[in-house]
Chain A
Amino acid sequence: MWQILKKELLEITRDRKTLFFMIALPILIFPLLIGGVIYLGASAASDAKAKSLDFAVITNVANVELADKLAAVDNLNLIELTQTPSSDEEIAQLIKSGELDFVLKIPDNYGDDLLNSGQILITLYLNAAQLNFVQERLDEITKEISERNQKAAFEILGVSPEVQTGLLEPIKIERENVADQRETIGATIGGMIPYFLFILCLQGAMIPAGDIGAGEKERGTLETLLLSPISRTQIVLGKFLTLCVAGVTSALVTVLSIAIWSLVVSQGFQIEKVAEFMSSIDLIDFLLVFFMLVPIVAIFSASLLSLSIYARSYKEAQGYMSPLIFVVLVPVMIALMPGIELKGVYAWIPLTNVALAIKELVKGTMDYFQLLAIFGSSVLLAGALLYFCVYWFNREKVLFR
């Protein structure tokens, strides 16, 4: 059995294609892709913020301070309209045609004397389907003017600063989150972690699985292997362990790569938050996640090996194995549904229970008693599948198709 494991692993490390998918992809390609998407998103947003916008002001008031201040902003250009549009449709047309990016309609009561003017209702015409942060840029300036005028009005009325805050916001709700930071972050990302881990384990085991079963048939080495003086069970176990090692390695490499890259990326501004979150998870919880993955990987490996040895060729094996990804997704999706918790019958559904447990562990709200159900059902299923695989390997009609 160990001889087979040793030889299969040697073969895997000699195969550039397998190594590429198992090591290079998670270490370099995935982070580059994800990083690329984040970078593009961020740069699109900053481009939009920096984009130069043309605007016009429609008003009967002379010397609108707001308009002057906006015009003074670097990338906002005040355009003098030759002809004042009379209706909303005409204004809309100006924006739709691209002549202007936004238009402000300022009412006649505009002025600094708040006590006389009352609320000033300015209409902003814009195409909200475009990302250009018009509102954000306007708010900056209107807030400044509003606060100044507010203060002046209060002074005239002789209202003390304490009363001022009360008047402005008579009742204020202050949120106090009793869930610690770990639980909050854990709830958001905890559901995604098993999703990634499962797929990675499956993917990692799937790459060598085709070679190890159907590949032996295709190359004509299976017969010789079967004629070696070792039992079929030993052959199965050797190959099964190879797939387990590949699955776990692939998952570990990816997780490490994600951890390292996120540390690198978050260097400087968020590192404390990440470090704090990570350190709040016990080593035991990390180990538990790992140990729960072991029977999961065993389930995957036994299924993959059974499919692969049944197939006549590597290509056929790929065809049989690919749908397994969707089969795996279903129990994980059950775990992601709201209201489904790690108790009762859900604690006994393989894969779903591990997905739920990983989420609980990350959140720090694990009911450790449920481990019994989790390991019980996972090990039982893995054992049954492995038993089937051994039985399958002893069938002449499977080996000599």
Chain B
Amino acid sequence: MIKISNLAKKFKVENPKKLSEQDKKDPRLQGRYFHSIKDVSLSCDNGEVLGLLGPNGAGKTTTLRVLSTALEPDQGAIEINGVDVIQNPVEARKKIGFLSGSTGLYGRLTGRENIAYFGRLNGLSDAQIEEKITVLAKQLDMETFLDRRSENYSTGMKQKTSIARAVVHDPEVIVLDEPTTGLDIMATSTVIEFIRSLKEARIPVIFSTHHLDEVAELCDSVAIIDQGITTFQGSLDDFRAKSDASLHHAFLACVKKENV
């Protein structure tokens, strides 16, 4: 289970003149600092899929980066199955599988080598890695291209390899940052199938997205971040209840008017 409470993270603004018009108007810009997230709290139980929604620039990626230990928060606490992520980042990383829409592969290595590299970095033995790759290759149907250089892969092949790479170490939680952005329908359905399989395995998944149909299809609960603050967290049904019309209206009801 994942529990995030009262997370805050600010970035120093090196050159205020270079900020976009939208950023300048943002109330999170205070002096030399941009408070990207100010108060984010959410939790995700085992076997639950949490959809993280919010307008562009709301702080979704920052939240997920802090959760996955790439960034250090200024405030707040994160717990993954009892491990304090901020105190033990290296320990926590072993429990997290992370994937984003822009995740790349090492083009000059084969798919197998890409996966194996991260397996080794996670401390797996060669035998364990081989066993795991065999299972994943079957599950994701990637036996035909696994031993070719990944620079020649299609987007779908790349995404499959990235997924395999993210779960090679059997993580206890999965964090996905806009995993379907920029993918074609085939590759998207691979990702959705993958999330479904995680759900069956009772692994908690947090994923950020702009696609409400994905949320309707997969999620058990929803959290909405707007201007660095969680404005909603609850079950999918609670979210639906926000509006009579559609999920889009429900979403709009949860974000501030100036964004609309």
Contact = CB atoms under 8 A, between A and B. Distances in A.
Given A10-B113, A221-B104, 11 more contacts: A14-B108, A219-B104, A221-B103, A221-B105, A227-B98, A229-B93, A229-B94, A229-B121, A230-B121, A231-B90, A396-B11
B72 interface: yes
A220 B108 CA distance: 14
B122 A11 contact: no
B160 interface: no
Main secondary structure of the interface of A (DSSP, over half): helix
Interface in A340-371: none
Contacts of B68: 227
Interface residues of B, number: 34
Which of A10, A15, A221, A224: most chain B CB closer than 10 A?
A224
A227 B103 contact: no
The 3 closest A-B pairs by CB, nearest first: A220-B104, A219-B104, A228-B121
A115 B72 CA distance: 103
Contacts of B91: 229
Nearest to A225: B121
A397 interface: yes
Contacts of A397: 11-12, 14
A230 B117 contact: no
Q: How large is the interface on A (under 10, 10 to 19, 20 to 34, 35 or more residues)?
A: 20 to 34
B114 to A, nearest CB: 9
Contacts of A396: 11, 71-72
Interface in A1-43: 3-4, 7, 10-11, 14-15
Contacts of B145: none
A220 B102 contact: yes
B44 to A, nearest CB: 18
Contacts of A223: 65, 70, 98, 100, 103
A380 interface: no
A10 B106 CA distance: 11
A400 to B, nearest CB: 7
Given A223-B98, A227-B68, A227-B93, A3 B103 contact: no
B197 to A, nearest CB: 21
B117 A14 contact: no
A226 interface: yes
Given A223-B103, A228-B122, A15 B94 contact: no
Given A227-B98, A397-B11, A7 B90 contact: no
Contacts of A229: 90-91, 93-94, 121-123
B69 interface: yes
Contact of A224 (B98, B107, B149): B98
Contact of B118 (A10, A14, A219, A224): A224
A231 to B, nearest CB: 6
B120 interface: yes
Contacts of B103: 220-221, 223-224
A15 B108 contact: yes
Contacts of A219: 104-107
B60 interface: no
A397 B10 CA distance: 11
B108 A221 contact: no
A195 B96 CA distance: 49
A293 B171 CA distance: 44
B165 interface: yes
15 contacts: A11-B106, A14-B109, A223-B100, A224-B103, A224-B165, A227-B69, A227-B93, A229-B91, A229-B122, A230-B90, A230-B121, A396-B72, A397-B12, A397-B14, A400-B70
A134 B12 CA distance: 76
Contacts of A7: 106, 109, 113, 117
Given A229-B91, A230-B90, A396-B72, A3 B117 contact: yes
A33 to B, nearest CB: 29
